[in-house]
Structure 1
Amino acid sequence: MTATDRVDLRLLVPALVAWAATVGALGVPVPVRVGCALACLLLGGVVLVVRSPAHRPVARHPAALHDDARPPAARGSAGPGEGSWRSGVAAVLGLSCLTSAACLLASATHDTRSRVGGVVELAEQRTSVTGTAVVLGEPVLVRGHGSEEPAVMLRVRLTQTTVRGQVRRLHAPVDVRSSDPTWRDLRWHDEIRVAGTLAPGRPHEPTVAVLRPRGPPEVGPRGPLLAAADHMRSRLREATDHLPADARGLVPALVIGDTSVTPPDLTDDMLVTGMSHLSAVSGSNVAIVLAAVLGACRLAGCPRRARPWVAALALAWFVVLARPEPSVVRAATMGLVALLGMSASRRGAGAPALSAAVVVLLLLDPWLARSYGFALSTLATLGLLLFVRPWSRAINARLPRRLHVVGPAVAIPVAAHLACAPVVVLLQGSVSTVSVLANLVAAPLVAPTTVAGVLTALVALLSPSLASWPAWLAGLPALGIARVARVSADVPGGAVDWPDGTRGALLLAGLTVIGLLAAPYLGHRARAAPVLACCVVLVLASAAVPRRVLVDVPDDWVMAACDVGQGDALVLATGPGRAVLVDVGPDPAAVDSCLSRLGVRRLDAVVLTHLHADHVGGLTGALDERPTQRLLVSPVRDPEDADREVRAEARRRGIAVSEVVAGDRLSIGPVTGSVWWPARRITEGSVPNNASLVLRLRIGAVDVLLLGDIEREAGHAILLALRREPVMSAEAADVDVLKVAHHGSANVDEDLMAAVAAPDALISVGADNDYGHPAPPLLALLAHTGTRVWRTDVDGLLVVVPDGDGAAVGSLP
């Protein structure tokens, strides 16, 4: 790296410190935040004042009085030699304190403002209110389980409520959940009037309450700017409606952030291959649009001083068009920073601009500090600032001049991928071996898709039929992007399993830093001994799979989680050819195949944690040709039709049905333990899910905890029981394997998850499911506790075997 390639990262330190302070402050009481902010403000002020020249000690030696008359070379060299680095450190420390103070005060202000009007107290009392609100994001459809109706979820900001005739002014972000389909028609920044009941919100979330509305909302008129953006969005969708499905989904996604028609399987393939940033508005799209606008200004002869203003107006309109939700605003900011930092004439402005962007975004929305998207955007931008220019120059040095476009084309995706990899592994639990190549192939297709898509949107304002021609110009490269994602997702070994959690992320980050530092030396040695280099690469590749992948079912297995799709089927070994089956999944054929693979010919008991179809639908497949002694069920008979069917099937086969509740003890061969839940019927949330049987069992020497499908309400009740009962508390602290509740849903009690943390966690979940399971917040929670995550959708059949005093988990794809 040459001197001109070096980036001054000193200003990034205050931004990162402020970011860390904000992460730690969220959820902390406001007075504590304010006190910490004042302490940081005082410390920063003292450091900066002491650092200033007016407050430095003056030498008392008489010669110092004549120092100014001496030549510069002979003057006190202690200034630059000894004091300059101290002065720099003091400046960074002072700025870190001041930026942290600003972000702490901003988070306290946001929290206080969101609670004005007593909305939290109203939610705790489950008060019925009427009021006005502003929609903050696009509605999301959440499918129900079993007999439950699909629900619409969206986030709004309550601006005014009327409670018992009293009008209150609010600024409260709340989540809305309704089964009324009219809520799906709402758009960003719609002003609505709504009546409903407030309930407490989730802890450690930006919302302060949940609103369950009564009936549809009353929607106010749209402003002219928003109406124009809506018109342009609808015209673009109309112009691309004739394109193939993949292009019809990707073009609006890249141009206006509309992912509503993107095929779900394409979204999954792009996520697996590390191309998800190409399926929505990202910083790269913003940079492409700005570069295109500036290029058009230059071709049109626009005065140089006017070009930034034109670009700013274009950026503002692009943000409004794509809906200025936090993800879009973040992408716009980071795209602008990346374009500024990589430009030839503004090289030194990149790092300071990134630092300022991080702090400003945190001041505007402190909850971005805990956003994985924010972390990915920041790291990707930092990677571009650090590596694109020197790597491009190194690549182009070996190419003829006419191919110098190859340097940036290769450097940009590689730099972004390496910078983001430690965070990506937290979300996916694996390292993609095809991501760099896939992004490298797809990167040249992004710019034509985006630019032609914007052109299509402009032409569509005049005539959607005329816009069908430029729509194909956008659609063809979009089809190429989709093809790259689909082919890459099918590559065998395309994702290498990696240790989950913070340890895995730190390990990957450490290896990345070591690789970057050693790259020049290794490159030199590889050129000197190419055969040896190839052998080393092969050995490292063979050792890169830290998980245990089994060839066949081990003889000493004690527990297995069957891959039955979106459902649960857990098998607990009780002897040769015998087992206890906990839930049977949704499909008879799938559970039958799994039991046959495990060699289970007899069931000592079948336990149905609750009566949703994804847990009882496969009952006949489990019972056919397998003698079964008894059936254990939850006392809550909801849904009633499923309860009747289960009991009728058991009666037809002569199987005794028993209900078990919290406090009951179980002893079935080597399987012993207790029932933790249900202790009572919970009416909040999903009644069947919160009535799930929760079992704390010991199978030989392995301790497991099976959480069924419980949600936050039942989880909190169990947590309170843990605090009251010393025996339960001791059992919770000694769990080897945890079966995560509800297929990895985010609707869990976080304190309970921390209390029952285990070395390994199993998630029974179906690939391509409609619920977004397992949810990223849940995976992040498990990562925070250092738990290794095993998923049936990724790893297949999961098998638990004894391992010393604990357990080991392996997978059978």
Structure 2
Amino acid sequence: MSLRRIWADPATAPDWRLAPAALAVWLATMLGLLLGWWWVVVGAVAAVGAGIGIVLAARGRAPAVRWFRVGLGWSLLVCGLLMAVATTGRLREAEQDPLRAHARAGGEGQFRVTITGRPRPLFSAGFGGQQGGVRAVVVPARIRAAVIDGKAVASTGRVVLVAPVDGWSRLLPGQDATTTAGLAPARSGELTVAVLRVRGPPDDVSEAAAWQRGAQELRGGLRDAASVLDPEPAGLLPGLVVGDTDGLSRQVEEEFTAAGLAHLVAVSGANLAIVCVAVLFLLRALRMGPRSAAAGAALALVGFVVLAGSEPSVLRAGVMGAVGLLALAMGRERAALPALGTAVIVLVLWDPAMAVSFGFALSVLATAGLVLLAPRWAERLAHRGVPRGLAEALAVPAAAHLVTAPVVAGMAGEVSLVAVLANLLAAPVVPVATVLGVLAALVAPVSSWPAELLVRLAGPEVDWLILVARHASRVPGATIAWPSGWWGGLLLVACVSLLVAALRRRHLRVLVGAALTGLLVVVVPIRVVAPGWPPPGWAMVACDVGQGDALVLATAEAGRAVVVDTGPEPGLLAGCLDRLDVSRVPLVVLSHLHADHVGGLDAVLGERTVGAVAVGPGREPDWAWEEVRDAAAEVGVPIVQLDAGHRLEWPGLVIEVLAPTAKEVMLPAEAEGTEINNASLVLRAATPAGKVLLSGDVELSAQAGLLDSRADLTADVVKVPHHGSRYTTPELFTAVRARIAVVSVGADNRYGHPSPTTLRAIDRTGALVVRTDTGGDAAIVPGENGPRAVARGPTRGPP
């Protein structure tokens, strides 16, 4: 159906009667989760009272007015009663679940759980003594039985398991498993009653349902078929088709987020629309009637939901699609808004947790924008001479981005300025890649070669999406920082409202146009032509990669630099190297193998010419060593070992290895964090800006060893060990006598870095403290009286 037809005449105007009821259910449930279950009672009473009042006030009114008010009143009345009966009890039960008290007290217990969602990889730090990496999964589940301190706990609440990959990553929704786990409190404002920290594999696992096993086989077949593509598109295609992002590289994921394309790798109404429309066109081409075609599309919808899995986003999209197809089968063309209202009511009543889900809010707002704004905008563009197809292509992403921008800003702490253009460029290939991917998944269990052929046909489309995301995310000023949280979202709503109000008035419209023209004339040249970064003659840059280390040492050759550590994620390091225009990396040095130092290695190996990867004598944690070794082998880059006494030279740069020696590093298997930190490589680099001491994450014992070794530790600049942790001796800073101390640290990190005690110790030496969490990328440049520090400014919000 053309967008124009929705608003062409009053008979097809949106039907608003369900909208207030949907908002009442959503808002009351949200308040119940955030503030207490009794807020649902307040909302239910208010909805019932308003419904009765509106129905009574409709008496004696004109038929059209009475029809509208009676429908509005009854919807409020019924939804209020449903909230009072269903939602109140569920929120009260979850809030008073006895497992919450045990979770606050900590401890350990034995649990029988039912898996309720597919396991998702966990990329954060702090699991099982490791400092990150994909060695844990997050598994949503529901308690069937719990025993704590030998006593049974009467709980049936929702829990989240943080568990090892081995054994847990293969579980499917509906399976039961038994485990011993430590307890931790869940986040407030959710139905989840506790977090279970699991260290071992699951026991007594029940068999999954046949349809779940079949769907898993289809998804696995798609992943296997996609392996004929290069690694990045191979990981993206399953995400694009069924939301399977397990193989998606962190760099591509971050680029899609910055470009405003993240919704493409989360199953949404768009995926279902593509599949259902394709089936509809096929069935109508076979001369089937509208209702028969809609029934066939409904079967396709159910099949796709089974294939993608019973995730909240999938079920959300499935309900919306089902209501829309029902409206189509009944011949009600103006039922788009009632379908959306019905979906909101049904989903929030069925799963109250959706009321506080960012994904749910994004889905609802995007659909509302497409229904209410896009048709009007497309019509106005068409009246101004824009071709109909182009007008709709412009209006759809613009409307979706406008209405979802406040939620995205509050969630991510940034506003994308390239999302509309990126979505416009991506839109033509998404349906083709999705349909080909679904077909590949369906035929893969039967025969591999047709599936691989279909995947190869989808390959150029997926490559195009990666290309669009990569270039869009690296446009200077592609995103702007914005206050995060609810206040940030409300602030953007106010700004957008003022902008829309201004554009509706002719004299203000001219003023806004002049201001935007001024921004284009002044700001764009400043950001693009002369961005002011990096500062001329930079010798070292500490990249703002959040809670991690990534340092770049310049050589005398343009575009050539040594990278020391790569941070926790590829995307942030890739952006830093792009800003520095580094294309050749003769050596990547990994001080030690914790994920906050090696997680971004793909950003260097994947896009730049690399001579070698250097590591110290330590090889723990074992999983991280295997990942580094495999990543280097995949691109044919050799790995070399550095020990104390090694000296490396390039034009304009000399690096000495001060510690450790191979004899000093005797790490046991499953070494803990402190032992691995103390095995960090310690380097001293001679640069045009002076000497720089790079200390990795060495802690007290390794620092004492350095001081006892009588090695010359003096330097003009020191990279503060371990992100400024409290495990740093003041004697180290006294021995170094640096003028500048660089702290590479993430904003509002959960470790409390940098420690106030460590900062006071640095202050006593008179050194200038430069922090990446407050200053962003930090460059060291030569000065007349020694090195100077230049900060670029914060580039990201809190992790």
TM-score by length of 2: 0.65
Q: Using the alignment, how far apart are the partners of 2:330 and 2:515 within structure 1?
A: 39
Show the counterpart of 1:131: 112
- Tell me if 1:120 matches 2:100: yes
1:424 paired residue among 394, 400, 408: 408
Show the counterpart of 1:322: 308
8 A contact 1:692–1:708 mirrored in 2: no
- Tell me if 1:466 matches 2:446: no
Helix, strand or coil at the partner of 2:156 = strand
2:194 paired residue among 209, 218, 229: 209
Show the counterpart of 2:261: 275
Helix, strand or coil at the partner of 1:741 = coil
Unaligned runs of 5+ in 1: 57-75, 527-531, 555-560, 571-583, 592-609, 632-638, 657-686, 694-705, 710-737, 746-761, 766-789, 799-808
Q: Are the structure 2 counterparts of residues 562 and 473 from structure 1 closer, same or farther at C-alpha, using a change threshold of 3 Å?
A: closer
Give the letter aligned to residue 143 of structure 2.
L
The CA deviation string for residues 732-751 of structure 1, in whole angstroms up to 9 with x for no partner, is: xxxxxx95124899xxxxxx
Cα displacement (A) at 1:301:
3.6
Matching of residues 22-421 of structure 1 within 5 Å: 22-29=29-36, 33-34=37-38, 36-52=39-55, 79-80=61-62, 96=76, 99=79, 102-103=82-83, 106-114=86-94, 118-123=98-103, 124=105, 126-142=107-123, 144=125, 148=131, 151-155=135-139, 156-162=141-147, 170-179=155-164, 181-213=166-198, 215-218=200-203, 219-335=205-321, 346-397=332-383, 404-421=388-405
Helix, strand or coil at the partner of 1:348 = coil
- Tell me if 1:490 matches 2:474: yes
- Tell me if 1:510 matches 2:567: no
Give the letter aligned to residue 144 of structure 2.
T
Matching of residues 583-622 of structure 1 within 5 Å: 621=684
The CA deviation string for residues 19-49 of structure 1, in whole angstroms up to 9 with x for no partner, is: 22222211545xxx34x54455445444444
Give the letter aligned to residue 391 of structure 2.
G
Cα displacement (A) at 1:376:
0.8
The CA deviation string for residues 725-768 of structure 1, in whole angstroms up to 9 with x for no partner, is: xxxxxxxxxxxxx95124899xxxxxxxxxxxxxxxx9957xxx
- Tell me if 1:563 matches 2:538: no
8 A contact 1:288–1:447 mirrored in 2: yes
8 A contact 1:341–1:347 mirrored in 2: yes
Q: Using the alignment, how far apart are the partners of 1:224 and 1:377 within structure 2?
A: 30
Show the counterpart of 2:702: 645
Matching of residues 631-670 of structure 1 within 5 Å: 642-652=699-709
The CA deviation string for residues 123-157 of structure 1, in whole angstroms up to 9 with x for no partner, is: 43624224243242324244546855754232322
Q: Using the alignment, how far apart are the partners of 2:423 and 2:162 within structure 1?
A: 37
8 A contact 2:50–2:76 mirrored in 1: no
1:20 paired residue among 27, 30, 39: 27
Q: Are the structure 2 counterparts of residues 204 and 517 from structure 1 closer, same or farther at C-alpha, using a change threshold of 3 Å?
A: closer
| Greater Cα shift, 613-622 or 486-495 | 613-622
Q: Are the structure 2 counterparts of residues 398 and 612 from structure 1 closer, same or farther at C-alpha, using a change threshold of 3 Å?
A: farther
Show the counterpart of 2:793: 811
Q: Are the structure 2 counterparts of residues 109 and 653 from structure 1 closer, same or farther at C-alpha, using a change threshold of 3 Å?
A: farther
Cα displacement (A) at 1:384:
0.3
8 A contact 1:797–1:811 mirrored in 2: no
8 A contact 1:133–1:193 mirrored in 2: no
Q: Are the structure 2 counterparts of residues 25 and 329 from structure 1 closer, same or farther at C-alpha, using a change threshold of 3 Å?
A: same
Cα displacement (A) at 1:427:
2.9
Q: Are the structure 2 counterparts of residues 355 and 42 from structure 1 closer, same or farther at C-alpha, using a change threshold of 3 Å?
A: same
Q: Are the structure 2 counterparts of residues 791 and 618 from structure 1 closer, same or farther at C-alpha, using a change threshold of 3 Å?
A: farther
Q: Are the structure 2 counterparts of residues 183 and 301 from structure 1 closer, same or farther at C-alpha, using a change threshold of 3 Å?
A: same
8 A contact 1:267–1:276 mirrored in 2: yes
Q: Using the alignment, how far apart are the partners of 1:544 and 1:393 within structure 2?
A: 32
Give the letter aligned to residue 11 of structure 1.
L
Cα displacement (A) at 1:118:
3.6
Q: Using the alignment, how far apart are the partners of 2:237 and 2:691 within structure 1?
A: 56
8 A contact 1:116–1:172 mirrored in 2: no
Cα displacement (A) at 1:508:
3.0
Aligned residues: 618
8 A contact 1:134–1:159 mirrored in 2: no
Q: Using the alignment, how far apart are the partners of 2:480 and 2:57 within structure 1?
A: 58
Q: Using the alignment, how far apart are the partners of 1:94 and 1:84 within structure 2?
A: 14
Q: Using the alignment, how far apart are the partners of 2:326 and 2:678 within structure 1?
A: 54
Give the letter aligned to residue 146 of structure 2.
T
8 A contact 2:410–2:485 mirrored in 1: yes
8 A contact 1:379–1:416 mirrored in 2: yes
Unaligned runs of 5+ in 2: 1-6, 536-540, 551-564, 568-587, 592-596, 598-672, 714-721, 729-741, 754-769, 781-790
Q: Are the structure 2 counterparts of residues 214 and 518 from structure 1 closer, same or farther at C-alpha, using a change threshold of 3 Å?
A: closer
Give the letter aligned to residue 19 of structure 2.
L
8 A contact 2:218–2:445 mirrored in 1: yes
Q: Using the alignment, how far apart are the partners of 1:217 and 1:162 within structure 2?
A: 16
- Tell me if 1:477 matches 2:461: yes
Q: Are the structure 2 counterparts of residues 347 and 509 from structure 1 closer, same or farther at C-alpha, using a change threshold of 3 Å?
A: farther
Q: Using the alignment, how far apart are the partners of 2:354 and 2:267 within structure 1?
A: 17
Q: Indicate the percent of aligned positions where both proteins have the same amino acid.
A: 29
Show the counterpart of 2:516: 537
Q: Using the alignment, how far apart are the partners of 1:144 and 1:524 within structure 2?
A: 50
Show the counterpart of 1:447: 431
Q: Using the alignment, how far apart are the partners of 1:482 and 1:276 within structure 2?
A: 12
Cα displacement (A) at 1:325:
1.1
Helix, strand or coil at the partner of 1:239 = helix
8 A contact 2:106–2:182 mirrored in 1: no
Q: Using the alignment, how far apart are the partners of 1:189 and 1:445 within structure 2?
A: 35
The CA deviation string for residues 323-356 of structure 1, in whole angstroms up to 9 with x for no partner, is: 1111222233345567789999644211122112
Show the counterpart of 1:741: 749
8 A contact 1:136–1:157 mirrored in 2: no
The CA deviation string for residues 85-133 of structure 1, in whole angstroms up to 9 with x for no partner, is: 9x97898578557635644654443345557884334443624224243
Helix, strand or coil at the partner of 2:208 = coil
Q: Using the alignment, how far apart are the partners of 1:269 and 1:395 within structure 2?
A: 31
Give the letter aligned to residue 24 of structure 2.
V
Give the letter aligned to residue 187 of structure 1.
L
TM-score by length of 1: 0.64
Q: Are the structure 2 counterparts of residues 340 and 477 from structure 1 closer, same or farther at C-alpha, using a change threshold of 3 Å?
A: farther
8 A contact 2:146–2:153 mirrored in 1: yes
Give the letter aligned to residue 129 of structure 1.
Q
The CA deviation string for residues 502-536 of structure 1, in whole angstroms up to 9 with x for no partner, is: 4543343234334445556659987xxxxx99754
Show the counterpart of 2:665: none
The CA deviation string for residues 230-252 of structure 1, in whole angstroms up to 9 with x for no partner, is: 12112222222202233312221
Give the letter aligned to residue 539 of structure 1.
G
RMSD: 5.2
The CA deviation string for residues 447-489 of structure 1, in whole angstroms up to 9 with x for no partner, is: 1111111122222232111222222222221221111111212
Helix, strand or coil at the partner of 2:445 = helix
Cα displacement (A) at 1:439:
0.6
Q: Using the alignment, how far apart are the partners of 1:534 and 1:43 within structure 2?
A: 44
Q: Are the structure 2 counterparts of residues 42 and 141 from structure 1 closer, same or farther at C-alpha, using a change threshold of 3 Å?
A: closer
Cα displacement (A) at 1:302:
3.6
Give the letter aligned to residue 153 of structure 1.
V
Q: Using the alignment, how far apart are the partners of 1:417 and 1:281 within structure 2?
A: 18
Helix, strand or coil at the partner of 2:516 = helix
Q: Using the alignment, how far apart are the partners of 2:429 and 2:298 within structure 1?
A: 25
Q: Using the alignment, how far apart are the partners of 2:53 and 2:747 within structure 1?
A: 56
| Greater Cα shift, 413-422 or 175-184 | 175-184
Cα displacement (A) at 1:288:
0.9
Q: Are the structure 2 counterparts of residues 422 and 649 from structure 1 closer, same or farther at C-alpha, using a change threshold of 3 Å?
A: same
Q: Using the alignment, how far apart are the partners of 1:186 and 1:382 within structure 2?
A: 36
